[in-house]
Chain A
Amino acid sequence: MTSLTGAYQTVFDSKKLSALDDLMLEFISFFLNLYQSEKGGEITSVLQAVLTHYIPIYLGNQLLFWSGRHWEKSHPVFSRRPKSEDLVNVQLGDGIKKYFVHPAL
């Protein structure tokens, strides 16, 4: 996790960042499979800890504008004002969704 944090702070190339994220997903998937086969509760708590430490690193200081998107569901947006969804990195949102494929974790 320390290495990953360091890497995210020094790498700015999007392809390399994507490769780092794939590495993390692979790590989570591998240990999740191990958990499913061995039913180890200890692995679950370690995975939860790793995952929750990783998400702030993954998002960095980039906004997904959750509050703005929620607000716009029930309030009108001025015609000239761009919608919150158009201001965010959709790929980042899709990326975070990958970590919700295992609700049992």
Chain B
Amino acid sequence: MTASVLYSHLFLDLGHDELEPELVYPEGDSFIPISPLGCLLLLAASYTFSPTEIETLFQSQESSKLLKLHQDLVAEYLDGAALNVTDAILLLGMLLEPHLTERNIPSFKDPQNLETSEFLEYLQVLPSTDKTNILANIGFGCNMSFGKFTTAVICICRATSE
């Protein structure tokens, strides 16, 4: 399966809605849909064998769509995920990060802003009154996954120091 096929199946295809749930795998054996988690793991693994294929794929996508895709992956699969699924999500975040621009990152001037809080939730930053703790969490997340998000950290530092 090519990277583009795997990429297009990262979320469950609801095209078999007309089938009774008990006929669809794993409940039944009349239809077996493509597994999104399998696609996610294969896409991450494919980078080891064919890095240029993923790079080409990401270059052909708009940066906002790439970020949205990764946010959806985090929201959909991270909770209770197997270690290798978490690893795959983290790797894809690192791979798409060079394709993002500063326009993709919300302003942190207003911490109460919905867009800002959603973005912090995406970065797995838990609500806390301890600013040091927030910054430590964000710094860890950025260093681990998104170099360009350093901009976001700087913005938060400014916002919290004002």
Contact = CB atoms under 8 A, between A and B. Distances in A.
Interface string B35-59: 1111101101111111000000000
B115 interface: no
Contacts of B84: 56, 59, 61-64
A49 B34 contact: yes
Interface stretch (B87-95, B101-109, B126-134): B87-95
Given A56-B38, A67-B90, A48 B5 contact: yes
Contacts of B38: 51-56
A61 B83 contact: yes
B50 to A, nearest CB: 8
Interface string B46-88: 1111100000000000000000000000000000001111011
B87 A65 contact: yes
Q: Mostly helix, strand, loop or mixed at chain B's interface? A: helix
Contact of A2 (B26, B41, B87): B26
Interface in B4-42: 5, 9, 25-26, 32-39, 41-42
A68 B94 CA distance: 10
B87 A63 contact: yes
A15 B44 CA distance: 26
Contact of A52 (B2, B26, B42, B50): B42
A97 interface: yes
Contact of B47 (A52, A61, A66): A66
Interface string A29-71: 0000000000000000110111111111001111111111111
Contacts of B25: 1, 49, 53
Given A100-B46, A103-B2, A105-B1, A52 B87 contact: no
Given A48-B34, A49-B25, 17 more contacts: A1-B25, A1-B26, A51-B1, A52-B1, A52-B42, A53-B25, A56-B85, A59-B82, A61-B82, A61-B84, A64-B84, A66-B47, A67-B145, A69-B48, A70-B94, A97-B45, A100-B49
Interface of A: 1-2, 45-46, 48-56, 59-71, 93, 96-97, 99-100, 103, 105
12 contacts: A49-B34, A52-B37, A53-B32, A54-B38, A55-B38, A56-B82, A63-B84, A93-B45, A96-B45, A100-B46, A103-B2, A105-B1
